[in-house]
Amino acid sequence: MVRIALVYDVARWEEKALIKAAMSRSVYIEPIHLKSIPLYIGNGLQRPLGDADIVLQRSLSHSIALESTVILESLGYRVVNNSTAIALVHDKIWTLCRLLQHRIPIPQSAVAFSEEAGRKVAENLGYPIVIKPVNGSWGRLVSLAENSEALRTIIEHRSYIPNPTFRIHLMQEFVKKPGRDIRIFVVGEEAPVAIYRVSNHWITNTARGGKAVPAPISSELEDLAIRAAKAVNAEIAGIDVFEDPRRGYIVNEVNAVPDFKNTVAVTGYDLPGKIIDYLIEQVKR
């Protein structure tokens, strides 16, 4: 029998759905709450996940996901997603650079390490301009500067946040989306399901009130999503895509431990089952 370990820090609907999907397939799945166990680095101690054939990483915290994956890989476990993928998507700048290297269209982006450099970026890319944290999700602390005074204020506020990464200003053109963006999911070599996130607000994350609606998947979109996942070494990913009226699809972000509750609710697609089937297939290869 295939043995899957599901490692997590917080159990949400997604983790419970994955466990149910595994149980319905007569697969042994062991949920491992990472906050309840120590992870020893080497030194011959007992393997923390026993004889698991494969590990599904589902930690909400980027740092817990990354550090636990690195440790588990060092102990010989096959972890999905692997540490390279989690590290690359942990930082939005790294993600964008990887996407660019793989010739995947991204928003015009720049990094400024000071207000002066930020002003120059805005003069070149034009207002309004988006300023983002280099990590984090759900659209939190993503700002839109309509003019130079707003930009000055945003950068000044960021400079007082006691976290050095907030002195790194990831700035992007404001893509004129048609009141929605696309979240498309990749599992292995497939992109089986997608939603539109519809909102009157420019931040469309469902966690911020964006309404999930089933979205069709063209072959172009599917190909783009799979290439984007591969660019960051991810086997399971949620890809955020903008539809630009002039340039077509633009990949905005990649998520390596994506939420999918709303996607399953509106599409009826069995994404947890798809993920479990993929893990089983990987073990049997």
| Residue 272 touches another protein, criterion: CB under 8 A | no
Query: What does the alpha-carbon distance between residue 191 and residue 155 come to, in Å, rounded to a whole number?
Result: 38
User: Are 208 and 138 in contact, with CB atoms under 8 Å apart?
Assistant: yes
Q: Which of the ranges 96-104, 109-117, 166-174, 205-213 carries the binding residues for another protein, by CB under 8 A?
A: 205-213
Q: How far is CA 151 from the centre of its chain?
A: 27
| Residue 261 touches another protein, criterion: CB under 8 A | yes
First to last CA, the chain: 14
Residue among 39, 61, 141, 175 that touches another protein (CB under 8 A): 61
Q: Which is nearer to another protein, 188 or 258 (CB)?
A: 258
Handedness of CA 254, 257, 259, 264 (dihedral sign): positive
| Residue 57 touches another protein, criterion: CB under 8 A | no
| Residue 148 touches another protein, criterion: CB under 8 A | no
Q: Which residues, at least 6 apart from 213, have a Cβ–Cβ distance to it below 8 Å?
A: 180, 195, 196, 197, 198, 266
Count the alpha carbons within 13 Å of 35 in the hemisphere toward its beta carbon: 9
**Cα-based angle 9, 270, 213 (whole degrees, multiple of 5):** 95
Q: Which is nearer to another protein, 75 or 266 (CB)?
A: 266
Give the nearest distance from C-beta 152 to another protein in angstroms. Answer: 27
Q: Which of the ranges 5-13, 38-46, 106-114, 223-231 carries the binding residues for another protein, by CB under 8 A?
A: 5-13
Count the alpha carbons within 13 Å of 209 in the hemisphere toward its beta carbon: 7
Q: Which is nearer to another protein, 35 or 176 (CB)?
A: 35
| Residue 118 touches another protein, criterion: CB under 8 A | no
Give the nearest distance from C-beta 168 to another protein in angstroms. Answer: 16
Q: Which of the ranges 4-12, 68-76, 120-128, 147-155 carries the binding residues for another protein, by CB under 8 A?
A: 4-12
Judged by the rule CB under 8 A, the positions of this chain that interact with another protein are 8-12, 15-16, 19, 31, 33, 35-36, 60-63, 135-139, 183, 205-207, 212, 238, 255-263
